[in-house]
C-alpha cells in the first residue's frame, strides 16, 4: 500500500499489540495517523510513541477516544473544568457490560494480555476513565483489584475495581465488569455511568452515545458550544481529526491526552499485583 498508493492518512484499527509497530511504520513513511485506542499495550511503548510524535512534529497523531466527542461528555468535562460544581469531592465511574465467549473467539487476541494489554478495564473502561481524567485533572495514586471470574483460560481480567486520588484532593471509584448478563441497556447493550459530586451539586452521565444523558443536580444545566457537529460521537471524532490535519484545529485526542488513561490503568494492575497503593507513572 505504501509503495503503490498516494494517500495522506493511515487509519489503524488492528489488535492492540500492532499499534506500536504500525504507528512507527506510518511515521517513517511520512503519514498522518488516526489510531483506535489504546495508544499501546504498555507505558513504555506509549512513551516511545510520544517521543516519535515529537520527532515527527510535522505529522498528526490522534487516538479515537470518541467519548470526548459525545456532547454530554463534552459538557460534563467543560462544566467541571470551569467550576460549575465548585470544589470536586469525589466521583463514581461504572462500566457494566456483557461479553460472552463468542466475542473472544471472534478475536482471540482479546483474551491474551500480551496482545490485548489488559481486559475489561483496558478495553472497555478506558473510554469513560478518559472522560473522568479530562474533567477532574491529574491523578497521583491508585489502589486496584482485578480478577478473572468466568473463563479460566483467559489471562485478562473481566472484573476490575479502583480507587483514585487526584492532585486536587478529590477521589474517584471505578467499578468495571463484562459479566452483567443480560446487558443493562436493551438498545445499545453497554451501560456506562459517571457521577461527579462537588460542593455546589452533582452531575450524572449515562451513556454511551448516541443515547447518552447528562443531568445536573443542585445547579443549572451547563451547556457549551459544540466543538464538532455531526450525528454521532464516532463521526464527530473522525471529523475532528480531519479538521486537525486540514485546518490545524486542535483535536481533543492527542497522544499526550490519550496516554493518561493508559498510565492510570497500568497503575491499577500494578496495585492489584502488589496489594499496595501505587503511584501513577508520569509521561
Write out pLDDT tens, residues 90-103: 999 999 999 999 99
Claim to verify: residue 188 and residue 274 sit in the same structural domain: yes
d(C-alpha 73, C-alpha 207), whole Å: 9
Query: Is residue 227 scored above 80 in pLDDT?
Result: no
Q: Give how far the C-alpha of residue 190 lies from the chain's centroid of Cα atoms, to the nearest Å.
A: 15
Query: Is residue 283 scored above 70 in pLDDT?
Result: no
Write out pLDDT tens, residues 252-279: 999 999 999 999 999 999 999 999 999 9
Residue numbers of the domain that contains 28: 9-65+241-254
Number of structural domains the chain divides into = 2
**CB distance 134 to 126 below 8 Å:** no
pTM of the model: 0.96
Claim to verify: residue 264 and residue 167 sit in the same structural domain: yes
- Give domain status of residue 230, yes or no: no
Claim to verify: residue 245 and residue 268 sit in the same structural domain: no
CATH number at residue 36: 3.40.50.720
Of residues 174 and 226, more confidence is placed in 174
- Give domain status of residue 227, yes or no: no
DSSP E strand boundaries for 53-158:
61-63, 88-96, 139-147
CATH number at residue 184: 3.30.360.10
- Give domain status of residue 233, yes or no: no
Claim to verify: residue 41 and residue 126 sit in the same structural domain: no
What is the DSSP code (8-state) at residue 125? I
* Alpha-helical regions (H) of 161-278: 233-247, 255-274
**CB distance 196 to 203 below 8 Å:** yes
d(C-alpha 77, C-alpha 91), whole Å: 13
Claim to verify: residue 77 and residue 103 sit in the same structural domain: yes
Peptide bond into 208 cis (omega under 30): yes
- Give domain status of residue 3, yes or no: no
pLDDT of residue 258: 97
The whole-chain average pLDDT of the chain stands at 95
Claim to verify: residue 155 and residue 47 sit in the same structural domain: no
- Give domain status of residue 229, yes or no: no
d(C-alpha 48, C-alpha 27), whole Å: 12
Claim to verify: residue 193 and residue 96 sit in the same structural domain: yes
Confidence of residue 211 (pLDDT cuts 50, 70, 90): confident
Write out pLDDT tens, residues 122-140: 999 999 999 999 999 999 9
Amino acid at each position: 500500500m505504501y509503495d503503490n498508493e498516494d494517500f495522506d492518512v493511515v487509519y489503524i484499527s488492528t489488535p492492540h499489540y500492532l499499534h506500536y509497530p504500525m504507528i512507527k511504520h506510518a511515521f517513517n513513511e511520512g503519514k498522518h495517523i488516526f489510531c483506535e485506542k489504546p495508544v499501546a499495550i504498555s507505558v513504555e511503548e506509549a512513551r516511545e510513541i510520544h517521543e516519535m510524535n515529537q520527532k515527527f512534529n510535522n505529522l498528526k497523531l490522534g487516538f479515537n477516544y470518541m467519548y470526548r466527542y459525545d456532547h454530554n461528555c463534552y459538557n460534563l468535562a467543560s462544566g467541571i473544568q470551569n467550576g460549575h460544581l465548585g470544589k470536586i469531592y469525589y466521583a463514581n465511574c461504572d462500566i457494566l457490560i456483557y461479553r460472552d465467549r463468542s466475542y473472544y473467539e471472534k478475536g482471540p487476541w482479546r483474551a491474551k494480555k500480551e496482545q490485548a494489554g489488559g481486559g475489561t478495564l483496558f478495553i472497555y473502561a478506558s473510554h469513560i476513565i478518559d472522560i473522568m481524567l479530562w474533567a477532574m485533572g491529574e491523578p497521583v495514586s491508585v489502589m486496584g483489584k482485578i480478577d478473572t471470574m468466568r473463563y479460566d483460560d483467559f489471562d485478562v481480567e473481566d472484573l476490575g475495581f479502583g480507587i483514585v486520588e487526584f492532585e486536587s484532593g478529590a477521589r474517584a471509584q471505578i467499578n468495571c465488569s463484562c459479566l452483567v448478563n443480560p446487558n443493562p441497556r436493551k438498545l445499545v447493550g453497554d451501560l456506562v455511568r459517571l457521577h461527579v459530586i462537588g460542593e455546589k451539586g452533582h452531575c450524572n452521565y449515562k451513556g454511551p452515545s448516541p443515547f447518552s444523558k447528562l443531568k445536573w443536580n443542585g445547579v443549572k444545566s451547563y451547556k457549551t458550544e459544540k466543538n464538532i457537529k455531526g450525528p454521532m460521537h464516532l463521526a464527530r471524532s473522525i471529523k475532528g481529526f480531519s479538521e486537525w490535519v486540514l485546518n490545524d484545529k486542535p483535536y481533543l485526542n492527542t497522544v499526550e491526552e490519550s496516554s493518561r488513561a493508559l498510565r492510570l490503568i497500568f497503575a491499577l494492575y500494578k496495585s492489584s499485583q502488589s496489594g499496595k497503593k501505587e503511584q501513577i507513572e508520569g509521561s
